[in-house]
Amino acid sequence: MKTIKNLLLMLSVVAASMFGASAANAASCGGGWTYVSGVYEYNVNGNTYGYIYTVPEHTVLPGYTNYFLTYNKEALIQAKMALQNHQSLYLYGDSGTAACPTSGSFRYLGTLTYLYEY
């Protein structure tokens, strides 16, 4: 009887988490493995934020540039180091819309949520 109760509890937690995930408005946009082409940091009234611009990895003449907004000072430092050392990064942004942009020269992929180093 205890096993059945534990199983039902576990299933209800999984069902609740799946319902919460499906109700999200924003898409998670991955920029793929990219090279950082620019990092612009601003400080307004003691609040640091910045933009990270990236181009696709292994492209001679990229047709577009992705950019992300971040309020995380450590992410800005990591992006500056990747720019300086020519390292690849994989960035995810929360686009704030139902779909990630697929056209245009500058594609805003939203607020930076994850940063992976190559």
| Tens of pLDDT, residues 14-29 | 333 333 333 344 568 8
Quote the CA–CA distance of 87 and 30 in Å, as a whole number: 17
Let me know if domain 28-117 sits in CATH 2.40.50.
Answer: yes
- Segment 40-97, tens digit of pLDDT: 999 999 899 999 999 998 877 888 999 999 999 999 999 999 999 999 999 999 987 6
Say how far apart CA 41 and CA 109 lie, in whole Å: 17
All residues at 6 or more sequence positions from 16 whose CB lies less than 8 Å from its CB, including other chains: none
Give yes or no for a contact between 49 and 71, defined as CB atoms under 8 angstroms apart.
yes
- Map out the domains of the chain as residue ranges: 28-117
- Residue 101 or residue 6, greater confidence: 101
pTM: 0.73
- Strand locations in the chain (E): 28-44, 47-56, 65-70, 88-94, 106-117
State the residue for tokens 């000072």.
73
